[in-house]
A and B are shown apart, each in its own frame.
Chain A
Amino acid sequence: MDIIKSSRDNLPVLQLKGRFDAHEVEPVNAWLAEHTGKGEARIIVNLEGMNFIDSTALSTLVRGLKNCRERNGDLHICSLQQPVRVIFELTRLDKAFDIFPTEEEAAKGF
């Protein structure tokens, strides 16, 4: 999996590409801990280019979401490709996250 760290409108953005499974959660956990442990945590996770996500990876994102909301912030997901969109739907996590078509809209959605 490729991990690209950037920012948009002063919001931290994590872009993940490829297959996101339990082998890959550690760097994502570290990034989430860094950006959800202080202040009003508002972050974007861009999943453009991701074609598979497993339950461990989903749990990592859910934990990140929870940490953000505990600090009155949020974790916005954007740019889901169809396989990952279907996985979010089947696991009903599409109801838990605010999901946006583009990174720009995810940033404006705060």
Chain B
Amino acid sequence: MFILSGSIPKDFFGGIWFIIQNNYPLYLEGVKYTLMISIAGTTLGLFLALLITIFRIQESDSRDNFGTRAYKRISVIMSASYVEFFRGTPMMVQAAIFFYGFAMIGIRIPILIAGIIIVTLNTAAYLTEVLRAGINSIDKGQMEAARSIGLTRGQSFRYIIFPQAIKNMVPAIGNELVVNIKDTAVLSVIGVSELFYMGKSIAGTYYRYTEAFVTVAIIYLILVLITTRILTLIVKWINIPNKTTFPTSQSNPLAVN
């Protein structure tokens, strides 16, 4: 160890280059965990958010009997509380409570699984709000028309409202993935060996903190830039107008771009 830190060049860029050359397997390992946790967490979080949103958007009307009304009320309160809790506390604190809480009652959750669960729970809270906003942004007339031909509220959401809302929500969901790539760094608090954790241990090896963390920052930046480029392509692909449709002079120009 002493020999290693002794042979590292004294200058800043030389130090970075040395660190990368000698430790890239560790950084790659960190990247692997960072991507695994953020991609799995975002995907699972989206599915969980879909489930929570169903409870979140319950609305009682004057025809409901007492039981139905109570059920809907409780659904809304529970789902709203969930969202408030996870959006209102730092993910680092949630991770610590979750991990040490289970350890305290004798359950040892594998660290990687714990990381994915925390990111999932967090993402679900944020995406529930995204989904709700997306649904609210759809013109009320769509729901009225759906109900007016006899579709149930559930069917109306499934066949009419949701397909329109999800299209508007893709950028926000992608954004959540980017945020997660960066925010997995806080999972180092429970010892998940993601990128930041690796950076910390490499820094400690050489006592060259700035160089090690600048390298980490550059890797995060590259990951995020690649991810945002891919997301931009996906959004573009989704917004390609219906291939069988050709604009005519009577077309609404806003609708075809």
Chain B associates with chain A: no
B-to-A contact residues, CB < 8 Å: none
A-to-B contact residues, CB < 8 Å: none
